[in-house]
Amino acid sequence: MIMAAATLAILAVMGMVLARALLGPTVFDRILAVNAFGTLTVILIAVAGFLAGRPEFLDIALLYALINFIGTIAVTKYVVNDFLGERDAEHNWTDL
Amino acid sequence: MTVLLDILTALFVIPGCVLLLIGGYGMIRLTDVFERMHAAGLIDTLGLTLVMVGLMFQGGFTLITFKLFLVIAFVLFTSPVVTHALARAALVANVVPKARRLAPDELMQDGATIDTGNGEITDGGQTGPGGAPSNS
């Protein structure tokens, strides 16, 4: 009962955050929204596991949190620097 | 005992979901990247933590609770890093914050407006009257 209500609330918040990811004027709004969406996915996986009576899905939630962090940092770096590789003659790092 | 644990779960999960809803509403309602980071922080810290602590009461003293604790610890470490990296990236990419006095001077670009603190705002002329970020 609690878990079903929590799942509905999380799904509603995911809708709002996805709206921001689609609308967001700057690319940083979209990155932020996608990061928040990933966090909400972690919560949803955990709650849905307890809702179904099978909390073993938590491994997937943990993995999703890891991938979410790496992905957000990588996309931010790519957007600012226009590339992901090492520093060389034609590509100079922006001082982040 | 089970009823007590269910009540404890509700006591943590329901405020967590309320905070998630407030954060999601803020993601729509607020007007600036930096303001929206504030709303996203609500989701990442207290929303996730309260929901997970509520689930811990259902898990009992098992591996499940430990995994929930790992999720909380990991997100509490990574969420400030992501927010910090994103805020610096936005500042470097010339997104002028609405609350300009919060921006450190060395990060402000030429022509960006700076609130001097005594009510008058110096404008270098780069941004329009609305102060909207010029890049898309």
For A22-79, how does the pLDDT look when each residue is reduced to its tens digit (9 = 90+)? 997 889 999 999 999 999 999 999 999 999 888 888 999 999 999 999 999 999 988 8
Q: Do B20 and A13 touch (CB under 8 A)?
A: yes
How large is the average pLDDT for residues B62-74?
A: 93
Q: Do B28 and A16 touch (CB under 8 A)?
A: yes
Q: What share of chain B has pLDDT > 90, as a percent?
A: 56
In a domain, B55, yes or no: yes
Residue A82 confidence (pLDDT) above 80: no
Output Rg (C-alpha) for chain A, integer angstroms. Answer: 17
B8 interfaces chain A, CB cutoff of 8 Å = no
Alpha carbon B53 to its chain's center: 20
A28 interfaces chain B, CB cutoff of 8 Å = yes
Choose, out of A20, A51, A93, the residue to mutate when testing the contact with B (most B CBs < 10 Å). A20
In a domain, B70, yes or no: yes
User: Among the listed ranges A8-12, A46-50, A55-59, B72-76, which one has the minimum average pLDDT value?
Assistant: A55-59
In a domain, B45, yes or no: yes
pLDDT band of A83, cuts 50, 70, 90: confident
How large is the average pLDDT for residues B78-98?
A: 88
In a domain, B122, yes or no: no
Task: For residue B114, give the 3-state DSSP assignment.
Answer: strand
For A52, residues 6+ apart whose C-beta sits below 8 A from its C-beta are none
Looking at the structure of chain B, the number of domains it has is 1
How large is the average pLDDT for residues B109-124?
A: 48
Average pLDDT, chain A: 87
A48 interfaces chain B, CB cutoff of 8 Å = no
In a domain, B50, yes or no: yes
Domain of residue B82 covers 2-95
Count of alpha carbons within 13 angstroms of residue B132, beta-carbon side? 7
Q: Do B71 and A16 touch (CB under 8 A)?
A: no
B24 interfaces chain A, CB cutoff of 8 Å = yes
Q: Do A5 and B17 touch (CB under 8 A)?
A: yes
Pairing of strands B114-115, B121-122: antiparallel
Q: Tell me the nearest-neighbour CA distance from A54 into chain B, angstroms.
A: 10
pLDDT band of A85, cuts 50, 70, 90: low
Average pLDDT, chain B: 79
Q: Which two tokens stand for residue B73?
A: 């610890």
What whole-number distance in Å separates Cα of residue A68 and Cα of residue A72? 6
Residue B88 confidence (pLDDT) above 60: yes
How large is the average pLDDT for residues B46-55?
A: 94
Q: Do B89 and A80 touch (CB under 8 A)?
A: yes
Contacts 24+ apart (CB under 8 A), A55-63: A55/B55, A55/B58, A55/B59, A55/B64, A58/B64, A58/B67, A58/B68, A58/B71, A59/B67, A61/B67, A61/B71, A62/B67, A62/B70, A62/B71, A62/B74
In a domain, B110, yes or no: no
Higher per-residue pLDDT: A83 or B35: B35
